[in-house]
Amino acid sequence: MSSARTTIFVCVSCRLPIDGNESDFEKPGSELAAAIEAHLQGAGASGIDVRPVECLAVCKRPCTIAFAGQDKWTYLVGGVDAKSQAGEIADVAQRFATSEDGIIPWKERPLFFRKGVIGRVPPQTYRITEKAE
Ligand code: FES
């Protein structure tokens, strides 16, 4: 098990249109970050930070989050439902934190993670000889 810290970045600038109206929107990122934090505390998780961020450059897929950790792949995930998926995000973060390299097996990924991954970036120490799925 890795002891490296994990960070969940949560975009607090994402605009979620209300009733499909682009000029009328909410910004649910702060609420999402607080809900993730509450789920992590409820689960007794440690070593996982929830950190608000201004923009992750995926503004068309609100809400956007990222999972990052030392020596792990970083995952950028969009289209997160702030009202219903905080618990699943907290669960993924715990799996991410305890994984060797940040890669979570496909069958263990909740739907938001399967459908929402926009990209992943290897750790700085990555070399092509390492196995990634
Ligand atoms: S405003 Fe959230 S990714 Fe840009």
What's the token pair of residue 96?
């991410």
pLDDT, residue 56, reads: 97
Cβ–Cβ < 8 Å for 73, 19: no
pLDDT, residue 20, reads: 78
- Map tokens 């961020």 to a residue: 53
Q: Is the CB of residue 77 below 6 angstroms from any atom belonging to ligand 1?
A: no
What's the token pair of residue 2?
């890795």
Cβ–Cβ < 8 Å for 33, 48: no
Q: Is the CB of residue 104 below 6 angstroms from any atom belonging to ligand 1?
A: no
Shortest-distance atom of ligand 1 to CA 78: 3
- Centre of ligand 1 to C-alpha 23, Å, is 16
pLDDT, residue 3, reads: 46
- Centre of ligand 1 to C-alpha 120, Å, is 17
How far apart are the C-alpha atoms of 43 and 46, rounded to whole Å? 9
Q: Is the CB of residue 93 below 6 angstroms from any atom belonging to ligand 1?
A: no
pLDDT, residue 101, reads: 94
Residue nearest atom 1 of ligand 1, based on CA coordinates: 14
Cβ–Cβ < 8 Å for 108, 79: no
Query: From first to last of its 133 residues, what are the pLDDT tens digits of the chain?
Result: 444 499 999 999 999 988 877 789 999 999 999 999 999 999 999 999 999 999 999 999 999 999 999 999 999 999 999 999 999 999 999 999 999 999 999 999 999 999 999 999 999 999 987 565 5
pLDDT, residue 133, reads: 58
Looking from the CA of 30 toward its CB, the CA atoms found within 13 Å total 4
pLDDT, residue 129, reads: 78
